[in-house]
Each structure stands twice: as structure tokens, then as C-alpha cells.
Structure 1
């Protein structure tokens, strides 16, 4: 069995994250030589270089191989795909070349397929396999459950896609917003965003500390279950996901896509899984979007999870997330509206409601970036149809051409030859 760990990353801390997950695999009886690491790297995010992401020798000795997929390497991959499968430059650039989670995920999956891996298991560089469990008496205990086993068992049985629960902080919203931002503004922001978001509601910015998620000790042994189609497809969190690469190479599983510089690649992915078997499995993961707990990667666990302060760094992180949400909202509305009337109504409601709370937020937080929210939503609304056409064109090309070829024969230079 060959297992690929496919990780889009812009933070050198990914080295410690990978080490923790490989140690988790060994602890639970998996052969670490079954695992290969595919780091799809964005060096612009924190002004880094490729060498900053190199795994330590101890980790390298435990695994099958590592592939460092830089922006240049993604360009080489794109050119190889273009030549072999006659894919237009415009599609190659939008799905493989450059930075962005969707492009980085696609590249890592294709490299995993080229190396003839059986499964890909995906997590992110702000996560860990250590789980906060809430005891019946209210106290917290950290545990190190088998992360890989549930994914592997389901994928081995023929499941196309697996998802695991996310614990900790579910989104990059500083909980101390409640101290700085009036409730009415936060409620209006949620009301505006809910028209074009799969998880945000009018209450998403209220009672933020209560939204930190722990594992109930009675839920650790829940049975896996088949995910049913809902309003937003078969919801997937790409930071804890498994992909059956046999299904992927047959063109059954779509590629990832977002409009330029948007978030939501897993949301758009989830809307295209109607004919696939998706299972939720007991592979739990801890999400630390502000990287407040680097010490847990070394086994030093906090007694409680703290509130997130409003700082220049957390404001910047939230502003980027907010703008990223707005950039994918129009295509989400386009894909989930049943009629043209519903689509126009949702877009118009969102456009009419987003300006006031975001401008108030920008003023209170002294964050000028948030002032652009209304303009961003307007611009991406105008291009939603074109973004959907890009998505539709690429997925049709993927199913028609790639699925009838042997991607494993695609020749891309290795780390040693670049």
C-alpha cells in the first residue's frame, strides 16, 4: 500500500506538523515507509525559500519519499500536462500554475498519482493529530488517536472520498471580537455572508468561545457513515480528507478550483460529489488557525483553549479570510441556486447588506483592507458566470481526456533533476 500525504503549505512549521503525523502513524502500528510526503509550497506567503520547508533527516529516514512542489515545479507540471493531453494554456494556468490552495492541492494530487500511490490523505500546516477531549466533569484531556487508520480502512473498501471531523478553532475569527465589535455589527455581517457561504449564518460571529469544538469522550468510537447530499453538496473539509486515487485517475473525482485568490476550494469541490461515495470517519484533527499552540507538536499541551485576541496579526488573518469568502460567494450562489431569479435575489441581497458592517468593522479595527469588501463582492459577482464556465470546462476536459490516459506515465522532473 502506498499512501500520499498531500499538503498545501506556506508555513515552514509544516516540517513539525509532518513529523507529528508520521509519529502518530508509527504509534498506531502503520508502516511509515508506506507514506510519501507531497509539500505543495507557496514561498510568497511568508517570504520564504524552498529550503525552509526541507524535512529533517530523522523524518526523511522514516518515510518512502518527499516531493517539494514549488511554484516552478507546478509550472513544469502544467507544461507536461499541456503537451501530453492538449489542454489549453488558459486552463492550465487556472488549475495548476501559481499559488493558491486549489492549484497547490491539484499539483500535489497529480504528483501522488504519477508516483502510483493508492490513496491521498490531506491535511494543512495549521493542524495536528493531538485531540482535546472534554471529559464528563468538564475538564480537558489531550489524546493521540489513530488519525490514518479510519481513512485507510474506508478508502480500502472502495470509498471515493473520506472526511474527518475538525476540532479546536473552526475558522479564523478572533473570539475577542466580542469585546471590540458591537453585537449588531457582528450579526449583520453574518446575515450578509450567509447568502453566499456554506457554513456561516447570522449567529456565526456571536458567542465565539462556545464555537470551539472538543471531542466528547463518548464520541471517539462512533461508526463511520455515508455522507448524504445536502444543500451544499456533500460537505468536505479539505484539511482532513482522504481521496481514493483510483477514482481520481478515472476522472470520477473532480479537480479543485476557486476563482482567483479566493477561499472555498473544498466548498466548490463538495458541490461536485453527487455520484461519489463520501464517508465521514473517526479521523479527528485539531485546527489551530492562528498557530497559537506550536508547543503541542512537541507534546506540551495547554490545560484549556484560550480566547483569540484582536492583534494586528489576527486582524490581518481575519481580513484575508473575509475577502477570500466574498470572492467565492458568487460562484457558490451560481452553483446552488435553483433558478435565475433565486440567484439574482441572493446576490442582490448580499451586495446590499455587506457594505455597512464591513465598513464599520474596518473603521473600528483600523484595517483598511476590510473596506474593500463591497467592491470585491461586486467585481466577483460580475465574473461569476465566467468563473463557473472555467470550472465546467476544466472538469469536462479532466473526465474526457485525463481519465482515458495513464497519468502515471506523465514525465515530470524529480527533485533531484531540477
Structure 2
């Protein structure tokens, strides 16, 4: 019995030798597919190759880039948008803007739980320039006694160098001579004396699954796809006759141009079977969707923002708030707090009294929500105008704003205001 398989949808060509897809070579791809911990370089590869990772990182970092930096006094939340340290952030160097620098820091932290900046200029004075270091562009050596980095090697960027740890007056700095400093913003490290844990560690299996499922599908496509039809010739024929039949079948059945045509094949005993896709083939799309959802959840991305079937007008609006509350603003606070520890002492500012932050009024969705909340609090009527104004950054107290007012039409419960028996209740002289 001769069995011949044909894949519909392919261009009619003479059958050739079977093609194969090369397996991954040792290196970045194989490492992040096979290793247990995610290194910075492997995290960057996930960012480049796994769609849900790239979507999550870009969605959060893109919102962080929109924030406007300010200097905030912790005691009364008074903001200063014209201070020299804010000016440095808004014009960090001659090549990049604040959006580019904070965006690089955000992406690095999201991928590796670590972000670094390099500063040029006299280490005892305000910096002249500030650069963000890209993920994977540094290596660290850790002290075996305390578990913290004792040396940071910046391998690329405008301010490369080897930065040694210096401890003085309860302040830790990483310096390369008297004109260079690197600032370190780090997340949680599960092991002492090691780099922080990449957020991708928790969903590495899902990311690997996404890569491998795509590699499988690419291999199927490269090898011509699954069989669509199987032609079984039960009579015995020579090789020349079998090749002639194969070519005739390709001409009549293969390719989209043959859809709807009727073909007649002369054969003593022929059976045609359809090789349809089974449940196992469909599992790849199901698993790919599940792995994507796991990655979105790890990065705290509300699913209505990335899944059309989960989106409605109301939950889309609430999802924007969740994105800011759970992902964007916590990351912004982490990055700006880290910059505060590095920058403020060089301007003679105590980080215990001030912190770098963002102007909430510049965030349109959050400003609208804040106004809605203040309106509800005003209707309740248990706070003064100055107490409400204190919740809005940059608003000073006003004269007479500390008095608590209630509507003058309020009367005690049970009072009949339509009789003259209660005139004494409203007599201000009594």
C-alpha cells in the first residue's frame, strides 16, 4: 500500500527532501529556556521575544515617562518644581530627556529589579550630567560578609568605569575617583550576595512556554505544516507512476487557487482521508493565552487593558486606575526615592525631609478621580475647606477656610416646619 500525504494551501511544487528547523544553539536563547534563574541579559531577551513581557513593560514604562518630577517637602507635601535638582532631571544630559532617562530606569527595574544611574562632576557638588544605565550593562561583585555589592562595573554607556564602595558617616556611595558616581536602585534579593530577583523569575516557565510554543508553530510552518489530506493508493505501482500521480495531485489540490475545483484521478483503488487538526494542536493556543495571562498578572496589568473579550466601558476606566495604583505609581515612587538618596545629599538637602516625587495634577485620570473623591467628601460635610484643599498639591490654606459649615435648612428630626408652634426653635434671640 502506498500512502501519500498532501498539505493544502501550499504552492504546487515538486516534493523535495524533508526540511528541518535547527534546534536552539547554546547561548542566550538556550540559556533562558533551560536555566532556573533569569539573568539581566536573559530578561532582556524575554523582553525582545515574548509579546506579553514586552507589552507589560511598555505599558507601565510608557506611563512612568509621562510623570512630571518635583521636589516634595515631607512635612506638608509642599512641592517645588523649580529647584536645581528638578532642573537636572528635566535636562539630565546632552543626549537624552527626562522621559528617556526615567523610561530606561523603569524598563531596567521591571526586567531585573535593578536600575542604575551614572553621575559626572565633582562628587561633593551637584552633578553636571546624569545617565541611565541599561539593563545588562553592569556586573557586580559582592562582599561575602555583609552580602552587599562592593564593586559595580559599568561596561557600557557614556560613563563607563569600575565603581568601588565607600562608606562614610552612615552613607554608602559607589565612586570611580573624584568625578564619577553610580547610583543604585535595587529590589529584593532572595539570596545574600547576589543580584536582585528578576520579576520574570516568578513567570519564567510561562515565558519559556510562550517562546517554545511559537518555536513549535514556526517549525510546523517551516516544514510545510500539518498534513491536510492523505491519498492511499492500494494498488502496487512503480516509482515513476507514483511520482506522476503525486505531481498530478499537487497540481489539482495544492494551493488556494485550486479551492472549489473538481478533479478526476484514474486509479484502480484510491482512498482519500482528511487529516484535520486535533485537540492537541489547539492546546498550543490555549496554553499560549494562559501563559500570557500569567505574565500580565505578574506585572499587575489589568486584563481588560490587553484582552478585548474582557473589556467593557466601565471596567476599562477602572482598569486604568488599577494600572496606576498597582503598577505605575509604585514603580515611580521606587525610582524617585532611589534618585533622592543619590542626588539630594549632593545639593545639601536632607533626604529625611525631602523626596523627589511627581506632580499628581499632571496625571489626568488620577486628577479626575481626586476631584470626584473631594466632591463626595464635601457633600458629607465633616471637613473644612482648608482640610480639603490640603489634599490638592500646591494649594495653600485660605482665610476663613477652617470654619465647618452645614446647610442652613437643616432642622432637628421630627420638627414640623409648617406650624407656628415651633417658632421659638428658630428664634435666634432665645
Normalised TM-score (structure 2): 0.23
**Which is greater in Rg?**
2
Higher helix share: 1
